[in-house]
Homo-oligomer: A and B are copies of this chain.
């Protein structure tokens, strides 16, 4: 019975209020007015609910941040659409985010770099990358991340070879082969203590902070274990052509280019058994997977729909030939992740593709060095090796006139080895790799070099990220270069004002795979027969463990822009006599090669020994385990001389080959050389560096080093 009068009125009001509040609590769900406290995921009824459409729709399918029917995402940062969207619970500050990627081969490795650059550009959290790789990708990426030294980034490698047995029984028509099936075994392969991970394909580009994607884990119900975006094509509807039989899927199915995995729950739920059972059963009626692991994921989800949390379409905007992505981006203004699941040359001319292409190009050509920055407000432990470098750099005196030289010497350049597909040469006795370094302005020489030298080459290229893409296109457009599998190109990313010539040579040298190396320069074309002749000489002379020697290939130069390359020693001699050919740098600096004793070479029919002399810098063939070039020599000047001094100090015989020759072609000075020579301090700094080099020599070789110090002190005729 309701009380009457004033109390009755108050009571009625109170009851009404009470009912209203109860209603909000019931239906408000896990929504609250944005609070400012740091916290983890906030779940359950909140204090300040707002009315919300129910989170489960009539047919039992979960509905929320992304309805699978093409209802575009409502989640757009500060701008929400018609449905009230629960404000995202903030991530704990500096939470470590885990990302897993399967990557095999040279081309995928390059794609992965672009993906990582886009992730790093926007991220504010520490990251841990888990990379499942084959040997080639591991080789590349391990070196790359090691030299990249990005703070607050950790990388772990998992051997794809070891995982192959778990998936090799599945026939797969997709070009990705076994690697395309490996996402299925991630719960088993990744560390057991890892509970959550984002899995990405390599043809993904981020246009947003990956932490926003990670935050979507908070939307998982207790049963959900995997977050996916709808597949934006009709593939799984099975009507693309007659007899088209796709694997089973829920409606259009899901695209596995971007996956949120609750690894802990997957393991608990017996994921390993689950997918194998499903795959086995389907393979009774289907011959193979067509879309690799995506097919199997979809088949499992079809059986267990409750496992999946659909993600907003903006987290995997798929561009391919049959794309229905239009629906997604025609509504949304915030595209978060672009998935180029189609060949690069998209000739489609719609305005959206321009946007996507531009985004992709942005990161393709973005200077990766700029991503070497610490996180604000989060501990950013420097990666291995970085601390040492930083300490050494901090000790440099900025007022030192040679500061730039010293700084360049300490710089650790980001290195991407085997930038292009490369086949290691089959083991062959006495095999020789031509080793050289270059930058953009000498790309022209590559084709000619390939025509002169059929053997393996290891070339270091000093490029910016943008130049690396130009270089890629240059090689792809060249029939001569594309045809060669035994030329390895290693990109060393530009950094600093001075040309790190010896660091570049050392990279190329370290990557050589044959027992011997021919240490050359990019402007030289070797005799057509040199590759074969060298191997013969190496064998005859028993170069290597039995005989410590450096075989000298005499160097010549032509001053003529148009030049008919000599095909034999006899022709060389004829051209010398006619004045069309000179010994190298005959006019400006004969000391560099005079000790080769060209007069003797004319008549020689067998290899002959020569003595080291000051400033001698011949081109030599040595065993691969020779001393490295001294990286203190940056810019230009004395960088080869120092190496020959080192060889001589280590008692390498200098043997001149009677039939070998290599010819320098004329070229304009490079920008790097001009910059260097315009520096007023370079001569003084070069002298200072030479002095330090000789002090080192004394320390290491004692009395034997005296010869070099004496030579250094002798006055020279002006160059």
Contacts and interface: CB of A to CB of B under 8 A. Distances in A.
Contact of A78 (B32, B74, B90, B466): B90
21 contacts: A3-B3, A33-B48, A34-B34, A36-B83, A37-B82, A38-B79, A78-B91, A78-B212, A78-B215, A333-B377, A355-B373, A358-B373, A361-B370, A362-B367, A441-B441, A444-B669, A470-B671, A474-B671, A477-B675, A559-B561, A561-B666
B394 A370 contact: no
A18 B14 CA distance: 8
B376 A81 contact: no
Nearest to A394: B349
Interface string A53-92: 0000000000000000000001001111111110110110
Contact of A17 (B18, B35, B666): B18
B74 A36 contact: yes
A333 B36 contact: no
A338 to B, nearest CB: 12
A474 B14 CA distance: 79
A674 interface: yes
B671 A35 contact: no
A378 interface: yes
A240 interface: no
A347 interface: yes
A443 to B, nearest CB: 6
B361 A374 contact: no
Contacts of A84: 33-36
Nearest to A90: B79
Given A36-B82, A366-B362, A373-B355, A668 B671 contact: no
Contacts of A88: 78
A324 B420 CA distance: 48
A367 B357 CA distance: 13
- A interface: dominant SS: loop
Interface stretch (A4-12, A173-181, A606-614, A652-660): A4-12
A34 B80 contact: yes
A195 interface: no
Contacts of A255: none
Interface string A265-287: 00000000000000000000000
B124 A334 contact: yes
Interface residues of A, number: 97
B377 A355 contact: no
B81 A36 contact: yes
A50 interface: yes
A478 to B, nearest CB: 7
Contacts of A398: 347
A478 B678 contact: yes
A521 interface: no
Contacts of A713: none
Given A36-B80, A559-B561, 12 more contacts: A7-B10, A10-B11, A10-B14, A10-B15, A14-B14, A34-B80, A35-B80, A35-B84, A38-B79, A38-B81, A48-B49, A561-B561
Nearest to A675: B477
**This protein's copies in its complex:** 2
A359 B366 CA distance: 12
Nearest to A24: B48
Interface centre among A10, A351, A369 (most CB of B within 10 A): A10
Contacts of A85: 34, 36
Given A14-B13, A333-B375, A560 B562 contact: no
B77 A91 contact: no
Contact of A34 (B87, B478, B678): B87
A75 to B, nearest CB: 10
A161 interface: no
Interface centre among A78, A80, A81 (most CB of B within 10 A): A78
A87 B87 contact: yes
B333 A358 contact: no
A716 interface: no
A367 to B, nearest CB: 7
A331 interface: yes
Contacts of A561: 559, 561, 666
A464 interface: yes
B377 A358 contact: no
A152 to B, nearest CB: 12
Nearest to A559: B561
A354 interface: yes
A237 interface: no
A14 B32 CA distance: 23
A443 B335 contact: no
A329 interface: yes
A17 B32 CA distance: 19
Nearest to A557: B561
Closest 4 CB pairs of A and B: A14-B14, A3-B7, A36-B80, A10-B11
B370 A362 contact: yes
Contacts of A37: 80, 82
Interface in A225-278: none
A365 interface: yes
Given A17-B14, A365-B367, A377-B332, A671 B443 contact: yes
Contacts of A48: 33, 48-50
A311 to B, nearest CB: 17
Contacts of A587: 562
B371 A355 contact: no
Contact of A559 (B124, B375, B560, B678): B560
B377 A331 contact: yes
Contact of A50 (B33, B82, B335): B33
Contacts of A668: 444, 667-668
Interface string A630-659: 000000000000000000000000000000
Interface in A321-337: 329-335
A93 interface: yes
Nearest to A151: B351
Interface string A38-51: 10000000011110
Contacts of A466: 367, 464, 466
Interface string A659-697: 000000011110100110010000000000000000000
